A and B are shown apart, each in its own frame.
Chain A
Amino acid sequence: MRQSILNEPEEATEINLSPMIDCIFILLIFFIVTTVFVEEPGLEIVKPNATIDQDLERNSIIIAVSADNKVVYGGKELGVAGVGARLRQLLNRDDLPVIIQADARADHGVFSAVWSEVKSAGAKKISLATLND
C-alpha cells in the first residue's frame, strides 16, 4: 500500500458528486437558454393602460420616450432624428422586433415621429408597450 501524502485514505474519497453536477448542468442550460441580452432604456416610464394587450417577444429592441419627450435607447438620448440611423445599424445586424415604450404623458406627436422613423428604418414588427391591470 504505497500512498502519497496527497491521497486521502480510501474511505474519504467516496463522495459521489455526479448528481450534483447533473443538477448544476440543468440549471446552467436553463439560464443559457433563457438569457436574452436586451438593452433596457434605464428610464422610469409610466406605461399607458390597455386591456387588449398581448405578450411581446422577449428579444427586442426597446426604444423609450420619456414624459418630457426625450427619445432614449440603451441609456443614451438619441433624439427623434437619431433613431433612424441607430435602428438601421441595429436591424442590419439582427432583424429584431421593435418595442416603443412611450410614457403616458408624452406627446403623441413624438411617439408618431418615432414610429415613422422606426418604420422607415425597415422594422418588420413595431409594438408599443402597455400595462395591464
Chain B
Amino acid sequence: MARRSILTDDSEAEINLSSMIDCIFILLIFFIVTTVFVDEKGLQVAKPDTAAVSMSEDEENVTLDITAENKVMLGAEEIALPDVSGRVKASLLDPETPVVIRAHEKSSHGTFVSVWDAARRGGAQALSFSTSS
C-alpha cells in the first residue's frame, strides 16, 4: 500500500451508493415521463366594463360588427378582412380611442380573433368585445 492518491482513501470508499442511484433513477424517469412542455400562445381579451359601455354612445368610438355570416362591418359598410387594420388605423383619432368588436353570437370564433388581431395591428390600444344576438 505504498502509492495511493490522496483522493482514494480505502476505508472511506465503502459507502454503497447503488441503492440511492436506483431511487434517483426512478425519480428521474418519473419526471421525464410526466413532463409536458405546454407551449401556449395567445391573446388577452377584454369586455368593456360598465363605465365604457355608458360612454359607448360617443361619436369617437369605433365599432366593428361581425355578422352571423362572418362579414365584417364598419358602420353600415362591409369591409374585407385584409382591409380591417388599415380602416381601423384611418378611423382612430388617437391610440386611446375605444374600439369595440361587436360579434354576432353565431359568427365563428376564428373570424373574431382575426378581426381582433387586425384591429390591434391597426394601432387600437383600448380594444374590447361584446356579443350581439
Number of residues on chain A facing chain B (CB within 8 A):
55
Chain A residues lying within 8 Å of B129, measured Cβ to Cβ, are 112
Residue of A nearest to B21 (CB): A21
| CB under 8 Å from chain B, chain A span 45-62 | 48-56, 58, 60, 62
Chain B residues lying within 8 Å of A13, measured Cβ to Cβ, are 13
Chain B interface, >50% SS class: mixed
| CB under 8 Å from chain A, chain B span 1-33 | 8, 10, 13, 17-18, 20-21, 24-25, 27-28, 31-32
A67 CB to nearest chain B CB (Å) = 9
Pair A52/B43 contact, Cβ less than 8 Å: yes
Count of A-B contacts with CB under 8 A?
A: 146
Question: Which residues of A are at the interface with B, using a C-beta cutoff of 8 A?
Answer: 10, 13-14, 17-18, 20-21, 24-25, 27-28, 31-32, 34-38, 40, 48-56, 58, 60, 62, 65, 99, 102-112, 115-116, 119, 125-132
Question: Which residues of B are at the interface with A, using a C-beta cutoff of 8 A?
Answer: 8, 10, 13, 17-18, 20-21, 24-25, 27-28, 31-32, 34-45, 47, 66, 103-114, 116-117, 120-121, 129, 131, 133
